[in-house]
Amino acid sequence: MSGTSRAFIFPGQGSQSVGMARALADEFSVARALLDEVDEALGRKLSTLMFEGPQDELTLTANAQPALMAASLATIRVLEAEAGLDLARDAAFVAGHSLGEYSALAAAGSLGVADAARLLRTRGEAMQAAVPVGEGAMAALLGIDAEAAATVAAQAAAEAGEGAVCEVANDNGGGQVVVSGTAAAVARAIEIAKEAGARRSVLLPVSAPFHCRLMAPAAEKMKEALAGVDILAPSVPLVANVVAKSVSDPEEIRGLLVRQATGAVRWRESLVFMAEGGVSTFVECGAGKVLAGLVKRVCAAAGGISVGTPADLPAYKALA
Residue 1 in this model has a pLDDT that exceeds 80 = no
User: What's the residue count for the chain?
Assistant: 320
Residue 317 pLDDT class (50, 70, 90 cuts): very high
What are the Cα distances from residue 253, in Å, to 51, 157, 268, 283? 32, 31, 20, 22
- 6-130+215-317 and 136-206: same fold? no
DSSP assignment letter at 15:
-
CATH level 2 (architecture), domain 6-130+215-317? 3-Layer(aba) Sandwich (3.40)
- What is the mean predicted confidence (pLDDT) over 293-310? 96
Q: Which active-site residues does the annotation give?
A: 98, 211
Nearest to 225 by CA among 71, 121, 105: 121
Strands 200-203 vs 136-142: parallel, antiparallel or unpaired = antiparallel
* CA–CA gap between residue 96 and residue 84 (Å, rounded): 22
Q: Is the separation of the CB atoms in 7 and 274 below 8 Å?
A: yes
User: What is the full DSSP assignment across 55-76?
Assistant: HHHHHSHHHHHHHHHHHHHHHH
User: What is the full DSSP assignment across 143-212?
Assistant: SS-HHHHHHHHHHHHHHT-TT--EEEEEE-SSSEEEEEEEHHHHHHHHHHHHHTT-SEEEE---SS--SS
Query: Please, what is the average pLDDT of the chain?
Result: 96
27 Cβ contact list (under 8 Å, min separation 6): 310
14 or 24, which is more confident? 24
Q: Which fold has domain 136-206?
A: Alpha-Beta Plaits (3.30.70)
Would you list the domain boundaries of the chain? 6-130+215-317, 136-206
The pLDDT tens digits of the residues spanning 64-109 come to 999 999 999 999 999 999 999 999 999 999 999 999 999 999 999 9
Residue 173 region by backbone torsions, left for phi larger than 0, else alpha for psi between -120 and 50, else beta: left
- What is the mean predicted confidence (pLDDT) over 194-212? 93
State which amino acid sits at residue 135.
Answer: E
